[in-house]
Amino acid sequence: MNVLRALAALVLLLMSAAPLRAADQTLVEGPLTVVVPESVGVGQPFVAEVRLVNQVEKVTAEWQGRVVEVLMSKRGREFRGEVLLAAGLEVQPGSHSLVVEAVRPARREMVLGKIEVTPTAFPEQRLNLPPSTVTPSKENLARIKREQALIAKAMNEAGDRRFWSFPFLRPVPGEVTSAFGLRRILNGQPRSPHTGIDFDAQKGDPVHVANQGKVILTGDFFFNGLSVFIDHGQGVVSMYFHLSAVSVRTGQHLERGQLVGLVGSTGRSTGPHLHFGMKVLGQSVDPMPLFTAGGPFDRRPGG
Ligand SMILES: [Zn+2]
């Protein structure tokens, strides 16, 4: 009886100590093993871990219609690699396919997995802003269109070459003042959801790049103000908005933690703060899990 009770207490303790994370599933096909979560909430990033017992030419992962190469490295007697994927804000809840393929000179192995994307209940946020910024003028609409095309072009040019590695670094130390995914009502009108997170910061505070990468775009945009876009490779892009100064130029290579600019309140902003956004394979992702100590993304390269 007492043994049972102690056991139950231990199970409860273990459950409460475990980070919030869905159970993993292990998919095996011959020498190829893939470990991914069974389910992911809308807006959440996740990692696909790939293991192989023999050398291959190339490993690719296909998710949401996009294909990325998985970089493999020898670890002990096997080859291992990992790729950062996400159920972006734009993804519909339901069962989604993940295909991982290993190509060898004579043959190929393929693993087909199903990941359940579950709905996330994002809270509502009501904001009052100057009417001219909520309903832009004709001229500003033309400007916004031009800027959207520029941003889309830069995103398309983001490369496959992987620069990022764990861990990701929080760009400023401040608290989150506006969470990812908030359903925003501006001056009483429903608008697009918050695709990044707002960090509390003072004007002039340094902003650091979250990981190694290459600057793909800088500029002064109608909504985002002074902005920096960074390609971390394999479809991972980070964005830093409303800056008061930009310290980098397009094409520049940055080490993790390098200065990208200073906090400001440029563009459509109610006061100094850093809006930090992240895209994975073109979809908006909540970056907070990447910064959470002790969480599933808190790991070192080779760990
Ligand atoms: Zn924001």
Give the chain's domains with CATH numbers: 2-118 (2.60.40.10), 124-291 (2.70.70.10)
Cα→Cα distances 82→18, 59, 85, 108, Å: 22, 10, 10, 19
Using the mean position of ligand 1's atoms as its centre, give its distance from the Cα of residue 178 in Å: 7
pLDDT at position 61 is 95
* 43 vs 13: CA distance, rounded Å: 29
Rg over CA atoms, the chain: 21
Write the pLDDT tens digit of every residue in 84-110.
999 999 999 999 999 999 988 778 889
pLDDT at position 16 is 45
pLDDT at position 192 is 86
Output the CA torsion sign for 73, 237, 285, 151: negative
pLDDT at position 3 is 66
pLDDT at position 8 is 62
Using the mean position of ligand 1's atoms as its centre, give its distance from the Cα of residue 292 in Å: 19
> Per-10-residue mean pLDDT for the chain, 303 residues long?
63 48 87 94 95 87 93 89 94 96 86 95 87 81 94 87 92 95 88 93 98 97 96 96 98 97 94 97 94 76 45
Using the mean position of ligand 1's atoms as its centre, give its distance from the Cα of residue 123 in Å: 14
pLDDT at position 18 is 42
Residue 169's contacts (CB-CB under 8 Å, 6 or more residues apart) are 208, 209, 210, 211, 256, 257, 291
* 99 vs 67: CA distance, rounded Å: 9
Using the mean position of ligand 1's atoms as its centre, give its distance from the Cα of residue 124 in Å: 14
* 72 vs 80: CA distance, rounded Å: 5
Residue 182, Cα to own-chain centre: how many angstroms? 16
Using the mean position of ligand 1's atoms as its centre, give its distance from the Cα of residue 49 in Å: 31
pLDDT at position 2 is 65
Using the mean position of ligand 1's atoms as its centre, give its distance from the Cα of residue 217 in Å: 18
In this prediction the pTM is 0.87
Question: Is there a contact between 182 and 124 (Cβ–Cβ < 8 Å)?
Answer: yes
Residue 86's contacts (CB-CB under 8 Å, 6 or more residues apart) are 40, 43, 44, 45, 46, 280, 281, 283, 285
* 271 vs 135: CA distance, rounded Å: 19
pLDDT at position 302 is 44
Mean pLDDT of the chain: 89
pLDDT at position 148 is 94
Cα→Cα distances 289→44, 134, 174, Å: 8, 30, 16
Using the mean position of ligand 1's atoms as its centre, give its distance from the Cα of residue 31 in Å: 44
Burial of 41 (0-12, 13-18, 19+ CB in 10 A): buried
